Amino acid sequence: MGNEAQASASGNGNKTFSKSIWKLDVPPRIKLFGGKVCAHALATKCNLAKRIPSVGMNCEICGALEESNLHALFLCPFAMEIWVGSTFGVDLLQGMASSATDVLGRVADILDTAQLGDFLAIMWECWNARNRFIFSAKDGWRGGLASRAVGFVKSFREMKEQEVKDPYEQNTQFWKPPDSGEVVLAGVEQQMEFHGAELEEARACLFALKAVIAHGFRRGV
């Protein structure tokens, strides 16, 4: 009963923490990744083996017996190379943890919201780089991947700050009907005396043709 109660409490904690993931100021794809981590839904060998017994659980990179989310994102030498290049101290990753969610929950008590978003972004980059290496044999300087992930989040935040909250706050010119006795042509008000609708329409067409010729156009639509 004690183990069941502990598992239930851990599950409730994961659900509570996963809600905070969606409030982080990071791109949606990173939030989605964080949600999968909290739900233990990453396509690691351990998760695949639960559904397909014939799948081996060993890590294809370092040969560890189990490729769990904790191993893939933190303990594998491949991931550790990426974390060494980050601004987060290695001591932050050390300690007893049963899953990547446990690590996230622990660092959430230490880091502020912006730092936690950067931390999650590096986890996301570890997962992407790992898949590129396994499935596409693409590898590069792993020491720069952490800063690239943080830079991606930084650019996302800067773009959000530059967005206009209300586009109508800009000096937008709205169309309004011309005053009586005026014709608006190409945004220029022209004072005219009206002598009937057909005549005024002809005069407007003539004015437009003269404007087209004056600007060097040979054809007007």
Are 12 and 100 in a shared domain?
A: yes
Interatomic CA distance for residues 177 and 170, integer angstroms: 21
CA distance 123 to 130: 11
Query: Does residue 37 share a domain with residue 129?
Result: yes
**155 is a domain residue:** yes
Highest mean pLDDT out of 13-17, 56-60, 160-164: 56-60
| Torsion angle (degrees, nearest 10) of CA 146, 151, 156, 160 | 140
Please report whether residue 22 resides in a domain: yes
Does residue 174 fall inside a structural domain? Answer: no
105 and 191 part of one domain:
no
- Asked whether the whole model's pTM tops 0.75, one would answer no
Domain span including residue 146: 7-163
Q: Encode pLDDT of 102-127 as tens digits.
A: 888 888 888 999 999 999 999 999 99
Please tell me the total count of domains within the chain.
2
On whether both 208 and 124 belong to a single domain, the answer is: no
**Residue pLDDT, tens place only, 169-195:** 555 555 666 666 555 555 554 554 555
